[in-house]
Structure 1
Amino acid sequence: MMLRFDRVIATGSAALDSGIRDTALKTFNGATYLYSLTGPGGGIAVWRLVDGALPQLVDTEYFSGTIAFQVGDIGVPISVGGTNQLVLDVDTANGLVGYILNPDGTVGSLRETGTLTGGGDISALVELSTGSGRFLMMSHEDTDRIVTYRVNGDGSLTSSGVVLAEADSMQGLRIGADNFVIATDGTRNTVATYRVDGSSGAITVVDNSEALSTLGIAVPTAVEVIQAYGRSWVVIAGAQSNSLSVMEMGSDGRLIPTDHVLDSLHTRFESVQDLSVVQVDGRVFVVAGGGDDGITLFTMTPSGQLVYLDSFADTLQSGLQNVETFSVAHVGDELQILVASQQDAGLTQLTVDVSDMGVVRSGFGTVNGTGGDDMLSGSILPTALVGGAGEDILIAGQAATTMTGGAGADIFVMQYKTEPVTITDFQAGVDRLDLFDYPLLRTPAQLTFTPTAQGARIEYLNETINVMSASGGSLSSTQVFGAGFGGPDHIPVDFGDFGGLDPGSSDGVQGAVSLNSETANASLTDAEIRFTPTGGATITARADSNGRFDLDLPSGSFEGEFDVIKSYSTASKDINALDALQVLRIAVGLDPTWGPASPENLIAADINRDGTVNALDALSILQLAVGQPTAAQPEWVFIDSNADLSGITRNNVSYDTGVDVTAVDGVITVDMTSILLGNLEGP
């Protein structure tokens, strides 16, 4: 998919064409209208968007009277008291100020509500719909407060909740009965999550600091949300970090990072100022632009990764110097992107042809596409992806994947930590190989590239891709990658799984534990979770500080083995000299001080895991207790709670970790026994 420049549109009035600060979209009777707003002394221009044609100017409105030189940077369409309004940021207003929007898209009279708690000088606003009514949530610049207001039937507003904070961009998501708002503040360099009570409008802060801490978002300038692929998503732009971050939002408001990309020489979102997320026939597209004079287009996969599609750089004909704001609308068979610049007058129109959208499918066995532009994903079991005609995106699963793109310019997307992938029909100079999920990969020179009789074999960090040429014969690196990789740089979002690092150490829970992938699990803090379906590839996930984990499994029932890898935290001091004494007693044939040793005691005593309890185990535990280095490293082991341990003796400590489970629609529940090697507990 390509970005196509159409032309620059303008009203012919400098007051309406220069210094456009915000754009907004609103649909009336099936027609989509774009509202562009300039600053003090300016006004509003209204454009009707038309499929396959240039936008039509339908109205203009100049700011006048008391607001003419008090208007700020935002314009947000809302519905209040049965009327549609375009709300403005007015510095000296006491209430909420906005223009009525007529059913034909034109601008009506100016209206102001009653006095608001924080006045009408607002920096961000979002409209929320709940089971008991509607709320507006606003950030008030004069009072440094974010306030929710209940929208009454007569259009009046009643203050409901308040939190001491500010925001310059806010978006809301309704998940079940709850509303969540993501707010960014570029001045204070913050990203906050709020839960808004559906009945009272009360605001509660959701702590997402753990998820955000590793992303490195600097000076957030825009946030967008969307519900797609059966999930809720948040995308945040960082101007100083030149980044776009994608996160999944859980039903409790918890954010889980899924991708983080940085602008490169091939993309155009450095100093990103605005972004937009739109869904077309089940596919999600992300558009970003900022200070390097252009626009970049991505699509988002069902797992929350951005696949680069195209960039458009400013030309002598376009007006994209230092992009300020833009809006993206799905109109007929097009995505229409209307862009305002900090330097150039008017709006630059770019379009993307979406007339041939195919399907979004995932699975195992054989997954077939259509004659359109499909997005097909592999799974945890061996899969064959068959794109057919169209410009398809084929995404490798965790298990062995065979990809056949068919006709059209296809993109083959690799995933890190997967079994070998085979591409059967790579068209040199037409198809593209996307390897950006591979950590620290920045250039084809880092790959082990071996031409073969039928194409090439590519290897990197134990990953293997067999590429077969559509035309037959050998392939060179230049034929596959051209002058190098295009697109942005992807940064790992889970450093716990990066580069073979061990799981983070933490306290745990010793003894019987019941684990559930849908809830918090105190015993799993910072652990690595593994699930290997029968006949498939091992899936791993990192549990968070509450022991929550998501293996991102597909729907259906999958039998397999579940295991946990968890390190010991020396800070807990659970292992001490008394443990060494108990092990020494067992090693010489005595019982521990409390009586006969249980099988679980013997497992814990065999810290070096050589199958016997002996003096070397006691020595290792004593060294550990006093802070001396030891070759036997303690760890938590998790075994089947129903395992038969009756055959374990001090001379035969034999057991298997993990447990056989059945994952049902992505949910795993299992009872296990958690044992800390080196830590002996009484009966």
Structure 2
Amino acid sequence: MWKLIDRETAGDGSDLFVAMTLVETGADAVLYTSTRYGGSVRGWSLAKGLDALSAPLPQGRSDAAGVAADLVYLPIGDGALLYGGGGTGGLFLRLMRSDGALATPLSLGAPKALKGNDLTHAAAVTLDDGRIAVIGGLARTDGIGTLIFDASGKLVSSAIGQTGAQAVTAVAATEIGGKDYILTLGDGAAPILKLWSMGADAALTERASLSSAQGLWVQAPTALATAALDGKTFAIVAAAGSSSLTVVQIGSSGSLTVRDHVLDDQNTRFGGATALEVVQAQGAVWVLTGGDDGGLSLLRLLPDGRLLSAGMLADTDAMGLQGIYGIAAQAAGDGLDVYVTSTEGGVTRLHATLPSGKLISGTAAVLSGGTGDDILMDGAGSQTLKGGAGADVFVMASDGRADTISGFELGKDRIDLSAWGLIRSLDQLTFASKSNGITITYGKEVLQVLSSTGKTIKAAQLSLSDLVDMSHLPPVLPDLPPSTNVPGGLTALRGSSAEDRLVGSGRADTLMGFGGDDTLWGNDGKDLIQGGGGGDELYGGNGADRIYGGDGKDVLWAGAGNDSLWGGSGDDTLWGQNGNDSLSGGNGRDLLQGGNGNDTLRGENGDDTLRGDAGADSLVGAAGADVLYGGAGNDRMWGGNGADLLQGGNGNDKLYGGSSNDKLYGENGNDSLWGDNGNDKLYGGANNDLLYGGAGRDRLEGGGAKDTLYGGGSADTLLGQDGTDKLYGENGNDWLEGGAGNDTLFGGAGADTLIGGTGVDALTGGTGADVFVFQRASDSAKGKPDTITDFSRGTDHIDLRPIDADAALKGDQAFAFLGTKAFSADGHGEVRVADHARGVLASIDINGDGRMDMEILLSHLSTLSASDFLL
């Protein structure tokens, strides 16, 4: 289904493209990429693959270098690109030529009406009079701003549309019934999605809003997109803190209604979701998403607003899909061409083959598929669904009526029962094998499945993934039943071995479900709730509750108050919700979500997923290969035993990998990462981070801003990337690469390799036979040389082999060493040395024109010879 087509990367940290947009330009399409503010923009022709239209073009001045950038396409002339917006005066406009190449940038300065703020996360709308309105969040403050351009690209108006709103993290535009609307996504303790109508001069009027009280159960929202399908308009929200996708329908009158809410799990790849792309192809709407989960997820949007999984792609070393920044896609042939940028640098091009079948729905008594991979949607009433040939998906409705699937191919077809309820285990379903299939029952829902072979189907032949598509949450939680007030101040309710429904009072209650799949509500008061055996649903309500899942796959909801939740055995789901909660998974593969407040989450045994959400949380994976997401706030995270994945999210976080081979991502904030034992991978992300590899062969990547990296023992790889970094290899034969910025590298003990990268770097090899590698002239530029502080002649070497000394000849030619002689200008690259006040200066003529192109300063030396170089 997925195929890697190409990956373009410089391999030196200069191609960390944090923003991307795809523009159709007639017969061609152009992909535009941008590094962080203060870096560069670039265009790539897609007609013949990833063909760069030019060298990287400087963005222009910005007072927010190192902050993630934006790219907004404006339909002006042959097109225009608006970028920048990190702080004050950082907005630039580049007009496009007919071939997609970018013209000289025009600085927009700092519009006075925006009170010195730029725009971020912006979207463009064409007004009725042909002018272009750009609406975005205000940089460095809360609120929304507007810029208006005329048809020539001249900025003619600017204004602050709204103040006092949350910090805007995403903006999207849509049109409904001929009217333009803007959606804004605000971050905070309670994220809010707002819908605005546009009036004259792009004036905004709020029409509707959604928060957690209306079902927008997200933390740290990151991306927003819109889609039109079957006469309806939807918005899709991606959130990193909750690792979720939420579908919201936009009504024709300006209403917002949640239609679906999906959490990342072991069968998807959008944990820590940061990027979102929506594209139409083959008459359907497809959603692509990814984040810090090592891969991509492809989903299909159904006409009722539900999302259906269409597959996922796991990252490999060749793909570069870890820590995704951006996703762009276009319809191509039998599927989609997909372009991805990430923390691993460069642009990755993939092709995804789409299912060939049809979407079949309606209220007819019989719905029949064809020869392709069809989707058959159950409607109201009793129906028979016939898939036919192909790998079909049967999406069942929650209507309390008996339905039939005919011709089910075991191991090929899938059934989606997620609309029936919170099904997290096959133990929640009742199976009755028949001679020609099987009957599945859940409450009032009954489904008869007839096999394609006419033979019986046993429950043991079915897995949860055969019957439930992804981890859906109901758009609306069930209403709490009325309280049962019992005199005496304490209520004790006991269930049975059957399916019980117990409701507490407004006091301190004790509810015990015992056997069966029970539903227990504590309501108000400090309650003790015990599920017992079976797959139970337990709701704490208000008050400081203690909730025990017991055996089976349980779902625990804490409610308000400082609650304590224990999952017990089985694959459990624990929700802290509001308050400072304590969650313990117990045995099994558990999902723990802290919610608001300063929570403590402990996975215990099994491969668990822990999400802190908002607040200063403590997450402990303990045993197993765990996934930990800090979310918003200053979090502390311990992986424990097993190969763990830790993601800090927003805030100044502290991450500890523990034993085994762990992956740690600091993300936003000034983070501290410790790999500890094992061969770990540490990624700092944005801001000023501190990384310690510890024991084992570790890989450390700083990211943006000023990072400090310590390799520890063994042979480590340290990459500073953007910013002014400090790298310490310590023990072992280490690889140190500064990347962009003025970096300081210390090899330490061992035979180390040091690469300063661009900028004015200071390189200290330490003890051992060290090699100082220079890959291009900009690594140690004329007038701005790198300094090698402790070069040991006869032991260390300066490696110039990555640079070709004669581009006119085939192959990679070596430099000629001249000693103190002048350059000969014979067309061949040469190296000469000369005395310097601080030591020896090595000058390099790369193209043989007799002029110096780069220079390297070696302090505390008096001479160099050819044997000191690898030419």
Q: What do residues 222-265 of structure 1 show as CA deviations (whole Å, max 9, x unaligned)?
A: 11111121111000011111111001101232101110011111
Report what 1:59 is aligned to. Answer: 54
> Residue 46 of structure 2 aligns to which amino acid in structure 1?
L
**Match of 1:77?**
72
Matches within 5 A, 1:660-675: none
State the secondary structure of the residue aligned to 2:260.
Answer: strand
Tell me the distance in 2 between the aligned counterparts of 1:307 and 1:93: 42
Contact in 2 for aligned 1:286/1:298 (Cα 8 Å): yes
Quick one: distance in 2 between partners of 1:25 and 1:15?
Answer: 22
Q: 1:487 to 1:196 in 2, by over 3 A?
A: same
Residue 437 of structure 1 aligns to a residue in which SS?
helix
What is the CA–CA distance in structure 1 between the aligned matches of 2:387 and 2:341, rounded to whole Å? Answer: 37
Tell me the amino acid that sits aligned with residue 127 of structure 1.
A
Match of 2:119 in 1: 122
1:158 equivalent in structure 2 = 157
> Shift in Å at residue 93 of structure 1?
5.1
Once residues 376 and 338 of structure 2 are traced to their aligned partners in structure 1, the CA distance between those partners, rounded to angstroms, is: 26
Choose which of 106, 125, 143 in structure 2 pairs with 1:111.
106
Partner of 1:36: 33
Instruction: Quote how far apart the aligned CAs of 1:160 are.
Output: 5.1
SS at match of 1:429: coil
Gaps of 5+ in 1: 357-371, 503-683
Residue type of the partner of 1:46? G
After superposition, the Cα gap between the structure-2 partners of 1:483 and 1:396, relative to the gap in structure 1 and judged at 3 Å, is closer
Distance (whole Å) between structure 1 residues aligned to residue 189 and residue 374 of structure 2: 42
Deviations 1:264-310 (A, max 9, x none): 11111111111111111321111111111111111011000001121
Q: Which residue of 1 aligns with 2:446?
A: 464
Q: Following superposition of structure 1 onto structure 2, how do residues 146-545 of structure 1 map, counting pairs within 5 Å? A: 146-154=144-152, 155-159=154-158, 162-164=161-163, 165=165, 166-186=167-187, 190-209=191-210, 213-342=214-343, 344-354=344-354, 372-379=356-363, 382-481=364-463, 487-496=469-478
Contact 1:138 1:147 in 2 (8 A): yes
Q: Which amino acid aligns with 1:448?
A: T
Q: Which runs of 5+ in 2 are unaligned?
A: 483-871
The answer on 1:87 being equivalent to 2:82 is yes
Structure-2 change in CA distance of 1:92 and 1:451 (3 Å)? closer
1:77–1:84: 8 Å Cα contact kept in structure 2?
Answer: no
1:127–1:135: 8 Å Cα contact kept in structure 2? Answer: yes
- The alignment partner of 2:427 has SS state of helix
Q: 1-side partners of 2:107 and 2:78: how far apart?
A: 13
Aligned CA distance change for structure 1 residues 212 and 458 (closer, same or farther; 3 Å): same
Residues 15 and 41 of structure 1 are in contact (CA less than 8 Å); yes or no, is this contact kept in structure 2?
no
Separation of aligned partners in 2, 1:65 and 1:307: 43
Instruction: After TM superposition, give the deviation of residue 415 of structure 1 in Å.
Output: 1.2
Q: Cα–Cα, structure 1 residues 203 and 376, in superposed 2: closer, same or farther, change >3 Å?
A: same
Aligned to 1:144: 142
Tell me how far apart the structure 2 counterparts of residues 145 and 338 of structure 1 sit (CA, whole Å).
32
State how many pairs are aligned: 477
In structure 2, the CA distance between the partners of 1:283 and 1:212, relative to structure 1 (3 Å rule), is farther
Kindly provide the amino acid, as one letter, of the partner of residue 30 in structure 1: A
- Calculate the TM-score normalised by the size of structure 1: 0.65
Q: Distance in 2 between matches of 1:144 and 1:483?
A: 43
DSSP-derived class of the 2:168 partner: coil
2:128 pairs with 1:131: yes
Q: TM-score, length-normalised on structure 2?
A: 0.52
Distance 1:443 1:279, change over 3 A: same
8 Å CA contact 2:54, 2:101 repeated in 1: yes
Work out whether residues 72 and 124 of structure 2, in 8 Å CA contact, stay in contact via their aligned partners in 1.
no
In structure 1, give the amino acid aligned to 2:278.
V
Rounded to whole Å, the distance in 1 between the matches of 2:261 and 2:59 is 44
**Shift in alpha-carbon separation, 1:91–1:453, aligned structure 2, 3 A:** closer
Tell me what 1:663 maps to. Answer: none
Equivalent position SS for 1:445: helix
Structure with the largest fraction of helix: 1
Deviations 1:115-152 (A, max 9, x none): 52224632221111343444221222145331223333
Contact 1:376-1:394 at 8 Å conserved across structures? yes
> Are residues 71 and 28 of structure 1, via their aligned partners in 2, closer, same or farther at CA, if it must alter by over 3 Å?
farther
SS in 1 for 2:61: helix
The answer to whether residue 22 in structure 2 is matched with residue 25 in structure 1 is yes
Distance in structure 2 (CA, Å) of the matches to 1:393 and 1:42: 46
Change (3 A) 1:63 1:15: farther
**Is the 1:219–1:238 contact (alpha carbons within 8 Å) kept by the matching residues of 2?**
yes
Find the counterpart in structure 1 of residue 749 from structure 2: none
If asked which structure has higher relative contact order (CA below 8 Å, sep 6+), I would say 1
Partners in 2 of 1:299 and 1:129 — Cα distance?
Answer: 29
Report the counterpart of residue 590 of structure 1 in structure 2: none
Deviation of 1:219 after TM superposition, in Å, equals: 0.9
Residue number in structure 1 paired with 2:503: none
Cα distance in structure 2, aligned partners of 1:457 and 1:143: 57
Cα distance, 1:69 vs. partner? 7.2
Structure 1 counterpart of 2:57, one-letter code: Y
Q: Distance in 1 between matches of 2:419 and 2:214?
A: 20
